[in-house]
Chains A and B, each alone.
Chain A
Amino acid sequence: MSDTSVDKPVAARRKLSAGPLGTGDKWFFRTTSIAAYFSFVLVALVLVFLFLKAWPALQTQGVDFIFGTKWVAEDGQPLIMQIGPMIYGSLLIALVGVLIATPMAISLAYMIVFMLGTRLAKVATTLIDLLAALPSVIIGLWGFYVFTPVAINWETTLHHYLAWIPIFQVENVDNAFRGSPFIAGWIVAVMIVPIVTSVTREIFSQLDRDLINGAIALGGSRLSVFRKVILPTSSGGVVGGVLLGLGRALGETVAIFYVLQISFDINWGNLLESHGGGVASWILARFGEATPDEISGLMAAGLVLFVITLIVNFVANTIVNRSQPWRKI
């Protein structure tokens, strides 16, 4: 056999590509590229326009816009707009929501992937997706009329028996329970359970079955397999899913607006007291009666919210994508 061809470097390999063939193809790829690059343009447009309108407020308020704790918008007084308590409130509610939603989502994903038969698993998946499709205004409606009375009941009990834990302490019982961050946290949890579940389920279902079967063959029980095989191998993706949920929770507007009593005195963590805040809900609450100057402040609040969620989502997506190598093309 001719060995000479083996020694030569294979640089002369014919290039196989499915690039554009002719003008029709060029236009085809050009159009789709423009559509794709439009996503960059859209993000840039959102940032630029919000920034343009937010600039007057950011300029007059300075750094205090983010860290200050006052919002004065009355006739005859200089406008003070500082969004600090609302940012803290958003984070607090999102944290409560994530803490409630995560165990539920992991349980659901475990149930769907490892406990239910194929048919029931499909039904459960559909139900979860349906929960994800529920508009937030409906969740808000339900939260306001149906869930709040139930939750007040839970809160009264929690306060009665567990008041020695700081987060369940209440200064004044008359001004507590209704409209508390606790209720808002639950509402947020209902809204982010689906997304955390679907990410977790995806990752659970793609786990190496041989690894799990091997662990069972070695004498592992359900619990030990879950703790020592399933959780460690999927933890990255689950954390990513939880962060995605956090991003959604931070941006939740209408549902929180209904169930939460929004006030500007900061609620550091007394979950059962009737005051809290959220950037998105604050924008909605102030919007109706705002003067053009105050609108600028609300734009700035929106900008801050956008930047926060952009960062959270970016980190979350990076983690999720990295833990799902099978999804890459």
Chain B
Amino acid sequence: MSFAPRPLVQPWKRANNARTFLILLASVMPAVITALAVLLTGFDANLAVIVVFLPLQIVAAGLVGLRAFGKRGFGDALLVVVTIFFSAFVLVLLLSVFLSVITEGSKAISLQFLTQNNIYISNTTSLDYGGVGNAILGTILIVGITTVLAVPLGIAMAVYLTQSQSKLRGMVRTVTQALSGLPSVVSGLFVLSIIVTFGFSKSGIFGSLALFPLMLPTVARVAEEALKLVPADLRLAALALGAPNYKAFFQVILPAAKSGLITALLLGLARVIGETAPLLLTVNVNNGTSWDPFNGPMETLPAYVYGYLSSSFSSAHQRAWGAGLVLLILVGVLFGLARFLGRAKSLKSKPTKQKASK
């Protein structure tokens, strides 16, 4: 602690130039020093960020904070630096995932990779042959059946939670929340136990059933939020005009909540489309193309990635990355659509939301 008189803090005055300069210096210098250290000494860059840059940045920001705002400035500078560092770290991890999947995956992607199936393809076959066409088809069929099963049921659950006066709503909500934490491998084992008990043979339909408990809670939760956004007055007005509850729902609430319910469907799809473990346990892999989810083996994108990842040949790795990219694009498209619809919805409901928060 210095014995110099503390500078008077006058927030209504514009910050003086010296202070702005100091803050600028503190924001730039650590990065420059780290970059120089890496370039000159050949120090490992990954490490330098944590071992050199972060401490330097903390010290620099702390000193400037101390100089400019006194003791409180020191603490604030620490908080800000640590917060930004952690946030940037997560951002870097996320970008790293995206960039690596896109750069590595795009090497494998071609029209033939997207459409051909995987017959006669081994770990060493060059990328000019074979592809994920059969896996895309299988994923669409299996996830499609799951959607047909889970979405109506999930929306009906959401209707029950928002429209009825039943006393059991709290319990239903608790159980649904608990279901949303169901580990995917347990869901797969559950369906496997059904297969074993009744002596069925594995096929695509059981993959759909294994994905079902994972999709249901997501759809129910998002649909419930969407239905809650519809003002209760609308429903009460319909009832007051003499409409029965089901007509009030189908003619008033459903049109108002349509985009929200589609969001529920899309987020549910995004939740299950990349699930791997349940499919590995309940569907046999298939190198050929199968249109029949009720009989025989079926290939899916996650299983395709899984199958080629364990191999030690580079063309097999490329296949895994390529299928990963296809999966990522599917998830991204679903997610983007859901966001787009959700944004349209939230723009409409903005005034009521603001009122509620104040």
Write the residues of chain A forming the contact surface with B, with a CB cutoff of 8 angstroms. Answer: 17-22, 24-25, 27-29, 31-33, 35-40, 42-43, 45-46, 49-50, 52-53, 103-104, 107-108, 110-111, 115, 124, 126-131, 133-142, 144-147, 150, 153-154, 157, 190, 193, 206, 221-224, 226, 244, 247-248, 250-254, 258, 280, 283-284, 287, 292, 295, 298-299, 302, 305-306, 309-310, 312-314, 316-318, 329
Contact = CB atoms under 8 A, between A and B. Distances in A.
B87 A49 contact: no
Binding site of A, secondary structure by majority: helix, strand, loop or mixed? helix
29 contacts: A21-B245, A25-B246, A32-B157, A32-B160, A32-B164, A39-B179, A39-B217, A42-B179, A49-B190, A49-B194, A103-B86, A108-B90, A130-B332, A135-B328, A137-B274, A145-B100, A147-B96, A153-B44, A154-B50, A193-B90, A223-B76, A251-B184, A254-B276, A258-B309, A280-B185, A287-B280, A298-B189, A305-B185, A313-B180
Nearest to A116: B87
A190 B317 CA distance: 22
A39 B101 contact: no
Interface in B82-122: 82-87, 89-91, 93-94, 96-97, 100-101, 104
B165 A17 contact: yes
Interface string B270-288: 1101111100110000000
Given A251-B184, A251-B186, A141 B305 contact: yes
Given A50-B186, A142-B96, A284-B185, A33 B270 contact: no
B327 A138 contact: yes
B185 A295 contact: no
A27 B246 CA distance: 9
Interface of B: 44, 46-47, 50-51, 72-73, 75-76, 78-80, 82-87, 89-91, 93-94, 96-97, 100-101, 104, 153, 156-157, 159-166, 168-169, 171-172, 174-187, 189-190, 192-194, 196-197, 213, 216-217, 220, 228, 235-236, 239, 244-247, 249, 267, 270-271, 273-277, 280-281, 302, 305-306, 309, 317, 320-321, 324, 327-328, 331-332, 334-335, 339, 357
Given A39-B175, A312-B181, A223 B79 contact: yes
Contacts of B181: 244, 247-248, 251, 309-310, 312-313, 316
A302 B79 contact: no
Contacts of A287: 280-281
Given A18-B165, A49-B190, A104-B90, A43 B306 contact: no
Contact of A36 (B79, B156, B190, B335): B156
A168 to B, nearest CB: 15
Contacts of B82: 107
B213 A42 contact: yes
B150 to A, nearest CB: 11
Which residue, B171, B190, B220, has most C-beta atoms of chain A within 10 A?
A: B190
Nearest to B281: A287
A285 B184 CA distance: 15
B86 A280 contact: no
Given A53-B197, A310-B181, A107 B163 contact: no
Binding site of B, secondary structure by majority: helix, strand, loop or mixed? helix
A112 to B, nearest CB: 8
A53 B196 contact: yes
Nearest to A149: B46
B327 A28 contact: no
B244 A134 contact: no
A316 B89 CA distance: 26
Contact of B178 (A18, A43, A124, A193): A43
B309 A251 contact: no
A221 B18 CA distance: 22
Given A137-B305, A222-B79, A32 B186 contact: no
Nearest to B304: A137
Given A138-B97, A313-B177, 8 more contacts: A32-B163, A37-B168, A40-B172, A40-B175, A145-B100, A251-B181, A251-B182, A318-B174
Given A21-B244, A42-B179, A115 B83 contact: yes
A298 B174 CA distance: 28
B206 to A, nearest CB: 13
B335 A133 contact: yes
B87 A107 contact: yes
B273 A135 contact: yes
Contacts of B94: 127, 130-131
Contacts of A31: 156
B277 A253 contact: yes
Given A137-B324, A251-B183, A302-B189, A146 B100 contact: yes
Q: Which 7 A-B pairs have CB atoms at the shortest separation, nearest pair first?
A: A135-B274, A251-B183, A35-B156, A313-B181, A223-B75, A107-B86, A28-B246
A59 B94 CA distance: 46
B246 A141 contact: no
B196 A295 contact: yes
A35 B154 CA distance: 8
A138 B274 contact: yes
B182 A141 contact: no
A179 to B, nearest CB: 13
B275 A135 contact: yes
A19 B165 CA distance: 8
A134 B163 CA distance: 33
B324 to A, nearest CB: 5
Contacts of A138: 97, 101, 274, 305, 324, 327-328
Contacts of A153: 44, 46-47
B286 to A, nearest CB: 16
